[in-house]
Structure 1
């Protein structure tokens, strides 16, 4: 069964403990996509979002996302102790992985991956961890949550005079919103409203890139037309940065 911890768009966390109960009952493999949200485990305040992760059979995690490790830094963790990855991927190339070495050949992890000679991603994480420690990584996670709360507050505040609207209350550090220009305000029920709103974000994105002021992504999702998606995770962000961001969105889109 596939579970997510911190979805890419709105940052939702699946109830892992309850899902694990179902998997145990029906003897299902439980995989958790924690690429984005797995790093909350460093935070004492927010690690409850990952409750039940210890019951998963496999977990995917990207320290290059929330912890801001150097790209690329990814991990695939297995509870399995029967060399499952080797059974799946091993080419048993004797010229690469000789079996008569002086150490335990099970330590040759290259023969357990599709790429074989993949770069040593874990070194980036290890060096960063040694540099800032567990407390430093926890601080990065906690700051990201604070920045997200600030961003949500500012978007809600802007809503009253510039009509920047949240797409929903995020559980994580993803803040999604539309900018609704003056020409569309109060016209939500009109036939072509969604079509016109969908064109707003791409135009603002084009303007910000051509003027060189920002580069912020947008996307649609289901029945939600193009909206801006901001992930406020950098430990270098400040209140001033977020004020500038929303003011710039308004400036670039006020004439649409």
Structure 2
């Protein structure tokens, strides 16, 4: 059912009240508070139902200026009524993109896992920080157990981990730890402690956050060397070693190599064993950005096909909010060596991290991170893991890969209408749609340029219609092409068929 803001009516008395008339301001307002919150829950449950209804639109699109006219976004001087707040909640969800809809293939993080969602509801209600055991005892212990489990899955015995606000910050933690490991005096002395220019290396297909580390941390982006990739999007490891040696001859210090397990666009997996060999020869820290592909570590079938050698890395970024389907945000960074996080980032703020507390202060995690305040991202993952078990996560990963292969087969069966760009290694499927006027024409660069022009037109049509969302982009070898993502557990073969059929309906006349 669609969200209708007019259908969520509070009782006449409660509707006229304001937030000041609820708990905790008015201690006798238990009944009114329950009525208000129950109505909010009604809206949320109706939205969950709508997200899982294939007859519902994925989005009700409006251009920004039109959307401003539809919404009352003013922040008033005097508080509005509870009824208005209820309507605000309903209107917000009415116009929000349904990222959990089975026809949303647009982002790496898709789907709406109900158990993870329930965990997020509880997390918001508990409303605690994650920097000390004294204020988050249950959540700190959960984090310890889950992160230890994830390191074991990577293949390490021991080490350390933390949940960070997104894969970009996870990659930043890896960079900081690598620099601290090689030059521990940098923390106090800064760049004056360096004997020469530090240099880092990553694939030209890597996430932009890796290059951002060079900017944020003072290396300069010119000292983040982009290693060429092959036509499948994998780092060319011979080029990596050549570039490392080239920089060494310049007197620079190569110290950090970031491999990618699941590139953002093509879903490519770098050869980790070859990269590990090179890092070993040249004394470089090896980081694996598996923010996207890390979920495949849970699959016995795909772990060794895609990520053999991951256990040789010094650090690994792994985002459960992607292939594992945990709710945003849920990003982890793991280190093979214990103690580095604390040594690198510790500032020993006496008002938080006293050493004479009544409990074991190793459970105070706040001094391991650069943030201080840290959102509780563990409970939704812990609860989800409890609900599926490791075996259930394995089945989920295998199923997503199976669906991607199904899409590949369907594209090949309709080769007059679709052109598969390459066989995918992950659940990213890259392809062009071929409209009627371009069928039967030899596939060359000129045809690709024409196919690239129609991608934004089809995307615009699907958003206006609200029936589907699939992303498109160019890369350094090709003009615009579609890249569908299957990371939602809600998707079936029929949804994949709908995606291809709908693109055909929307673009056949172009």
- TM-score tier by shorter-chain length is over 0.9
Which residue of the other structure, out of 201, 209, 226, is the alignment partner of 2:455?
Answer: 201
Contact between 1:140 and 1:233, CA under 8 Å: does it hold in 2?
no
1:242 corresponds to 2:490: no
Q: CA–CA distance in 1 between the matches of 2:362 and 2:407?
A: 48
Q: CA–CA distance in 2 between the matches of 1:51 and 1:142?
A: 17
1:44 corresponds to 2:327: no
| Unmatched 5+ stretches in structure 1 | none
Contact between 1:207 and 1:252, CA under 8 Å: does it hold in 2?
yes
1:61-210 to 2 correspondence within 5 Å? Answer: 61-81=318-338, 83-160=339-416, 162=417, 164-185=418-439, 186=441, 188-189=443-444, 193-210=447-464
Deviation at 1:182, TM superposition (A): 2.3
Partner of residue 287, structure 2: 31
Bigger Cα displacement from structure 2, 182-191 vs 169-178: 182-191
Q: CA–CA distance in 2 between the matches of 1:42 and 1:187?
A: 42
Partner of residue 233, structure 1: 487
Deviation at 1:222, TM superposition (A): 0.7
Contact between 1:201 and 1:227, CA under 8 Å: does it hold in 2?
yes
| 1:143-197 per-position Cα deviation (integer Å, ceiling 9, x unaligned) | 011001100001111113x2x1011111121101011222334165575x44433
Contact between 1:156 and 1:166, CA under 8 Å: does it hold in 2?
yes
Q: How many residues align?
A: 252
Deviation at 1:102, TM superposition (A): 2.4
Partner of residue 472, structure 2: 218
Q: CA–CA distance in 2 between the matches of 1:155 and 1:9?
A: 18
Q: CA–CA distance in 1 between the matches of 2:282 and 2:324?
A: 35
| Unmatched 5+ stretches in structure 2 | 1-256
Question: What is the TM-score when the length of structure 1 is the normalising length?
Answer: 0.92
Partner of residue 509, structure 2: 255
Task: Tell me the SS of whatever aligns to 2:500.
Answer: helix
Bigger Cα displacement from structure 2, 105-114 vs 48-57: 105-114
Q: Kindly report the root-mean-square deviation, in angstroms, between the aligned alpha carbons of the 2 structures.
A: 1.6
Report which structure shows greater RCO (CA 8 Å, sep ≥6). 2
Q: CA–CA distance in 2 between the matches of 1:205 and 1:189?
A: 23
Contact between 1:216 and 1:230, CA under 8 Å: does it hold in 2?
yes
Contact between 1:143 and 1:233, CA under 8 Å: does it hold in 2?
no
Q: 1:76 to 1:184 in 2, by over 3 A?
A: same
Q: Work out which of the two has the higher radius of gyration on C-alpha atoms and give 1 or 2.
A: 2
Task: Tell me the SS of whatever aligns to 2:292.
Answer: coil
Q: CA–CA distance in 2 between the matches of 1:98 and 1:217?
A: 49
